[in-house]
Amino acid sequence: MNILVINCGSSSLKFQLIDSNTEECKASGLCERIGMDESCITYKPANGEKEKKVSPMPDHKEAIRLVIEALTNEKTGALKSLSEIDAVGHRLVHGGEKFNKSVIINDEVIKAVEECNDLAPLHNPANIIGINACKALMPNVPMVGVFDTAIHQTMPAKAYLYGTPYEYYEKYGVRKYGFHGSSHSFVSKRAAELVGKSYEDCKTIVCHLGNGSSICAVENGKSVDTSMGLTPLEGLLMGTRSGDIDAGALEYIMKKENIDFKEMMTILNKKSGFLGVSGVSSDCRDVESAAADGNERAKAAMDVFFYRVAKTVGGYIAAMNGVDVIAFTAGIGENDKHTREEIMKYFGYMGIKIDAEKNSLRGEEVMISTPDSKVKVYVIPTNEELKIARETAALVK
Ligand code: AMP
């Protein structure tokens, strides 16, 4: 089956065309600056050159039309005609407590996703725009929604409840939801396979470390805790997000800086994390190289990052009363040997040992622990689009 996987943001749209039988990505690309000047589409067929074209895209419908045009282009297209698209899989950010698995999209589902808009006001409306644009151009093609939050719906109340008045949970759904679901699910399944255990009998910790970072504890095939919360702001130090902070500090900063809550949130989401602490960049590579050159703030940013990841992994080992495998994934997790080494140093007491040579490999699936390590540690490149294509194919079959 040809599955078109769509990841729709407010002004961008990423896509991949995946053959669900061979799991091959036949083409991929990105529409940028939708609704702005100089919007452009980048398209790359599997065995061809990447092409970038400036093309007006006043809305997402036009963006999808251009995606279809590129996919069916006579010379470079991966398809002969639109009719070869068997299904569309949409990455949907927030399904609240309404969705604990992927679903075939119908009007009822769209309404329920809309009801979660308050929980993800930047992401969910954009996801729905993407769904409606596909519906308008491909009315007879089935669509599936795959939620970032769904796999975490198995968390027990002790993991998801905040210490706020219970009525906020009851009235407004204030609780931890967690994100990066497709990645945590894809990587934890693969980790169980690699250590030769059944998914239903394996304790895995997935460290998804990228521009946005989160960790997930997967016990016997179920997410039992994760570091992001009601929103992706909770947890680790990230590219531009602060991660955990004492809420009391917000009032203090707002008073001192004379800023309102909206501005405070912009600072926590866009001007904090690696960028805010180091003052160098939100990109881990820049911060690490500044730290290596002796920049103290950059070093502090990296140290906070390593420490928080290690504390979270340690906490999840306690939560599951053990761990079989720890997996690193996403931009930093897959590529940065120094980060993996520094984090794993915290677990020497547990008998976890890292093989320096294996850890030097970049961006490939590899076991980086030594054969006598008490816990196996892997790098597993994530593939969220493939996970979405698999879920989509399974539901529309
Ligand atoms: P992602 O959000 O998964 O695309 O990851 C983006 C992050 O990965 C950025 O902070 C990059 O700095 C980081 N990254 C990518 N390649 C490397 C690398 N070779 N070493 C360290 N960090 C990297």
List, for residues 326-340, the tens digit of each pLDDT value. 999 999 999 999 999
Question: Which pLDDT score is estimated for 392?
Answer: 98
Q: How far is CA 58 from CA 14, 15, 34, 36, 249, in A?
A: 17, 18, 6, 7, 41
Q: Answer whether residue 363 shows pLDDT above 80.
A: no
What spacing in Å lies between the alpha carbon of 274 and ligand 1's midpoint?
12
What's the whole-number mean pLDDT along residues 365-377?
98
Lowest mean pLDDT among 50-54, 120-124, 258-262, 315-319: 120-124
Task: Supply the pTM of this predicted model.
Answer: 0.96
Q: Which atom of ligand 1 is nearest to the CA of 287?
A: 12
> Catalytic residues, which ones?
148
Which mutation among 285, 328, 359, 379 tests ligand 1's pocket best, with the greatest number of atoms within 8 A of CB?
285
Tell me which residue has its CA closest to atom 15 in ligand 1: 331
Domain edges within the chain = 2-147, 196-379
Question: Which pLDDT score is estimated for 372?
Answer: 97
What spacing in Å lies between the alpha carbon of 286 and ligand 1's midpoint?
10
Which mutation among 281, 332, 359 tests ligand 1's pocket best, with the greatest number of atoms within 8 A of CB?
332
Tell me which residue has its CA closest to atom 22 in ligand 1: 332
Question: Which pLDDT score is estimated for 142?
Answer: 98
Question: Which pLDDT score is estimated for 362?
Answer: 86
Residues 155-206 have pLDDT tens digits of 999 999 999 999 999 999 999 999 999 999 999 999 999 999 999 999 999 9
What spacing in Å lies between the alpha carbon of 161 and ligand 1's midpoint?
31
What spacing in Å lies between the alpha carbon of 201 and ligand 1's midpoint?
32
Name all residues whose Cβ lies below 6 A of ligand 1. Answer: 210-211, 239, 283-285, 330-332, 335-336
Residues 226-245 have pLDDT tens digits of 999 999 999 999 999 999 99
Q: Supply 254's token pair.
A: 């707002």
By the 10 Å C-beta count (0-12 exposed, 13-18 middle, 19+ buried), 270 is classed as: middle
What spacing in Å lies between the alpha carbon of 106 and ligand 1's midpoint?
37
What's the whole-number mean pLDDT along residues 79-85?
96
Identity at 13, one-letter amino acid code: L
Confirm or reject CATH 3.55.40.20 for domain 196-379, answering yes or no.
no
Assign 147 a pLDDT band (cuts: 50, 70, 90). Answer: very high
CATH superfamily, domain 2-147, is ATPase, nucleotide binding domain (3.30.420.40)
What's the whole-number mean pLDDT along residues 278-304?
98
Please give the mean pLDDT across all residues of the chain.
97
Question: Which pLDDT score is estimated for 10?
Answer: 85
Helix H, strand E, coil C: the string for the chain is: CEEEEEEECCCCEEEEEEECCCCEEEEEEEEECCCCCCCEEEEEECCCCCEEEECCCCCHHHHHHHHHHHHCCCCCCCCCCHHHCCEEEEEECCCCCCCCCCEECCHHHHHHHHHCHHHCCCCHHHHHHHHHHHHHHCCCCCEEEEECCHHHHHCCHHHHCCCCCHHHHHHHCCCCCCCCHHHHHHHHHHHHHHCCCCHHHCEEEEEEECCCEEEEEEECCEEEEECCCCCCCCCCCCCCCCCCCCHHHHHHHHHHHCCCHHHHHHHHHHCCHHHHHHCCCCCHHHHHHHHHCCCHHHHHHHHHHHHHHHHHHHHHHHHHCCCCEEEEEHHHHHHCHHHHHHHHHCCHHHCCCECHHHHCCCCCCEECECCCCCCEEEECCCCHHHHHHHHHHHHHC
Do the domains spanning 2-147 and 196-379 agree at the CATH topology level?
Answer: yes
Tell me which residue has its CA closest to atom 20 in ligand 1: 336
Which mutation among 215, 283, 284 tests ligand 1's pocket best, with the greatest number of atoms within 8 A of CB?
284
What's the whole-number mean pLDDT along residues 12-27?
97
Q: Answer whether residue 122 shows pLDDT above 90.
A: no
Question: Which pLDDT score is estimated for 333?
Answer: 98
